[in-house]
Structure 1
Amino acid sequence: MTKIGIIGATGYVGAELLRLLLSHPKVEIAALSSVSFEGQEISNVYKNFLNKTNLVCETAEDVIEKSDVIFTALPHGLSEDIAKKAIDSNKICIDMGADFRLSNEEEYELWYGKKFTQPEIHASSIYGLPELNRAKIKECSLIANPGCYPTTIELGLMPLLKNSLIKLDNIICDSKSGTTGAGRGLTLNTHFPEENETFAPYKVGAHRHTPEIEETLSVMAKEKVNVTFTPHLLPINRGILSTIYCSTKDTVNLEEIHKLYVAAYKDEPFVNVLPLGEIASIKNVRLTNDCHISLHLNHRKDQIIVVSTIDNMVKGAAGQAIQNMNIILGFEETDGLNLIAPAF
C-alpha cells in the first residue's frame, strides 16, 4: 500500500481529499498535518471521520518523512518550500494550491504578490490537467493541480482550441461556484446572511484564476488566448458551472462540433459530452469527479456556447489530485473515484 500524507488536512480541500482517499483500494493514509489543529485527532475537527480514522495532526516534516506521496492543500505561497523538501526526499508532491500553476514568475508576482521561493523546481513541475498532460504527468513527481474554475473552462474549450475553430481574442467565461471554493476561513461575503438568497459576481475583471486560464488555453491553441472571466458566488455548498461564449471563425455546424467533442473525450473516464439539446447541470456531477459538457448555438449561428460543470471540491480539487496520483503510480485512473452523483 502506498503511504499518503496530507499537509493542510483541516481545510475543506484537505478534508475532502481525506474522505476520498480513505476509500481508495491501493493507498493508506500515513500522516496528516495542520498548523491550527496540531496534536488533535482529525475526527475532533470533522465528526464525519469518527470511527473512520484516529489520525492525529502532526507537523509537515512528519508528513514528508512518513509518506510516499504528499498532497499540499495550502494557501498560495506556502507550498514551494514543502515541495522542495519532498522532492529532495524523493517523494511525490501534488500541490493543490496556486504555487506551481503559472510558469511565468512575473505573472505570479503580478497576480499573487510574491516571487517564486524555489525557482529551480518550477521547471520540473507539470500542470495536472490529465486530459491535456497525461503523458507528462506519468513521468513527473511535482504536480500543479489545476484550479477549479480553470478546470471547467479548459475542458470546455479544449476541442475547439485544438482544432482552431474559434476566435481567440473574445472568449467570455461566465462562471458560478458554490461557497466551499472560498475555503474554510470565515469571510463576510460567505457569511450565511450575506450569501443566502442572493447571487452576485466578485473580483470582476481581476480574479487570480485568469492568468492560469489564459496560459493553459494558449498551450492548447498554440497561440495567445485572451479571456474575459467573471466568477459568481452561488448560495450552495459545492459545484461550478461555467457558461463560455466563443465567436466562430466560420459557419458553424453544431452536429459536427458535437461529433468532434464526443471523439475528443471518448476515452476520458471523467468527461461526459451530453447529447445535443441537453444542458449540463451541477446536480448531475455533485460529489463526483465528472465533468459534464453541453454544446449550444446562438440564434445567429455565429457563436458557440459551451456549458461545463464539475464539483469544485472533487474534479475541481481533491478528485483531480487523486486522478493525478493514480496516473503517476500506474493505478487505474478511476481507483477511488468511481463516484455517482445523488439523484436528488
Structure 2
Amino acid sequence: MGKNVVILGASGYTGAELVRLIAGHPDINIVGLSAERKAGQQMGDVFPHLRHMNLPQLVKIDELSFENVDLVFCALPHATSQAVIRALPDAVKVVDLSADFRLRDEAEYTKWYGLPHDAPDLQKIAVYGLTEFYRDDIAKARLVAGTGCNAATGQFALRPLIAAGVIGLDDIVIDMKVGVSGAGRALKENLLHAELSEGVHAYGVGGVHRHLAEFDQEFSAVAGRKVEVQFTPHLAPFNRGILATCYVSGDAAAIHETFVSQYVDEPFIEVLPIGEHPSVRHVRGSNFCHLGVVADRKEGRAIVIAALDNLTKGSSGQALHNANLMLSLPETAGLTMAPVFP
C-alpha cells in the first residue's frame, strides 16, 4: 500500500525534484500535485523529463483532497506556506520547503522577511529540518521546516567544529558559489543566459542574505553564545550545486578528526581524506554532501570546503529524508542514487 503524499507547488524546481526522487521510492505514492499558473496541465508537459511517470494532473490547492493523505510536501514561496499549512488537517504531517518555519523567533522572522508571521502557533512546534542534527525530533514531528540550501551547506561544514570547539568563533568566513537553480524557476532578467553566462557575481553582500538568520540561530545555539559569520554567496553559471569555502582558525588535523567522528555513521555525508577538496560535479543529482579539509599556509588557519546539490541534498532530498523519518520508513529510501557524472 505505501504512504500517500501530496506535493504543493509541484511546478517549481524543488517540486519536480521531489517527484523525481519519489519515483524511486518503494513505499511512497504521489496522490496529488498542485500548481497555480500550470494548473490543468500534466506534469510531463511541464517537465518533459518526467513524461514516463503516471502522475496526477496539476490542480489548484483548493481542488485537492487530503483524505487518506499521510504527508504533504509544501514547496510554495515563503509567506504563502503559512496560511496553506494552517488550513491542512491536523492529522496530516508536513514538510515545508519554504523559509516560513525555519526561524524560531517571530521577531527574527519579521526582521529578515519583512512581515509578521501569520502562524506563530505552528512556528512554535516546527522542527528545524537539518536531518543529521535533528533526527530524533524530526521523527516525532508534525511539521518540519526544511533548511535553506545555503544554510545547510554552511552548517555541514561548520556546525560540528563549533560544537567541538576546534575553531575560533569570531573570524569565520563563508565564501559560497551557488548554481542558478537556487534562484527558482520564475523568469528574472538577471538570470537570462546573456546576463548570467561567462560571469560570476556576488549577491546579498554585507550581511543582508536571509540565510544568515539560520546561521545566526543555529551556530549561536550550538556555541552557547552569539556567533556571527561573514557570508557572501556568488551566483555562478552552472545549473545545480553549491560549493562553500570556509576560512577558519584552527588545526586542520583536529578539524578533520572532528568530521570523521561526527559523520562516521551518516549515510549521505562523505568526508574526504585530509588535503583533498570536493567539487559540485561529484555530487550532482545526488543526496550526498562532500567535505574536505586543507591546512592553510598560515599557521593555525584551515580551509573547509563543502559541496552538495542545492536541489537534492540542499532541499528536496533533505525533505524526503525527513519524510522517511516522519513516516517511520527506512531513512535512506529513495535517496541512494549515485551522482550523475560527467
- TM-score band (shorter)? over 0.9
CA distance in 2, matches of 1:182, 1:53: 29
- In structure 2, the partner of 1:110 is 111
- In structure 1, the partner of 2:172 is 171
Q: Give 5+ residue unaligned stretches, structure 1.
A: none
Q: Give 5+ residue unaligned stretches, structure 2.
A: none
**1:239-258 matches, cutoff 5 A:** 239-248=241-250, 252=251, 254-258=252-256
2:273 to 262, 272, 275: 275
**1:1-344 matches, cutoff 5 A:** 1-61=2-62, 62=64, 64-65=66-67, 67-86=69-88, 88-205=89-206, 206-248=208-250, 252=251, 254-344=252-342
Q: Which amino acid aligns with 1:340?
A: A
Q: Which amino acid aligns with 1:89?
A: D
CA distances 1:120-163 after superposition (whole Å, capped 9, x unpaired): 11111000111111111111010000110011100101221111
CA distance in 2, matches of 1:184, 1:257: 37
* Kept in 1: contact 2:10–2:35 (CA 8 A): yes
Q: Percent identity?
A: 38
SS at match of 1:170: coil
* Kept in 2: contact 1:168–1:225 (CA 8 A): yes
* Kept in 1: contact 2:160–2:259 (CA 8 A): yes
Task: Provide the TM-score with structure 1 as the length reference.
Answer: 0.95
* Kept in 2: contact 1:159–1:260 (CA 8 A): yes
Deviating above 6 A after TM superposition, structure 1's stretches of 4 or more consecutive aligned residues are: none
Cα root mean square deviation, aligned? 1.3
Shift of 1:247: 2.3
CA distance in 1, matches of 2:65, 2:176: 35
Shift of 1:340: 0.7
Cα–Cα, structure 1 residues 103 and 342, in superposed 2: closer, same or farther, change >3 Å? same
Shift of 1:66: 5.4
CA distance in 2, matches of 1:267, 1:11: 33
Q: Which amino acid aligns with 2:245?
A: T
CA distance in 2, matches of 1:277, 1:306: 10
Shift of 1:246: 1.4
* Kept in 2: contact 1:30–1:66 (CA 8 A): no
CA distances 1:67-110 after superposition (whole Å, capped 9, x unpaired): 21100111110111222222x43100100000001111111111
Q: Which amino acid aligns with 2:312?
A: V
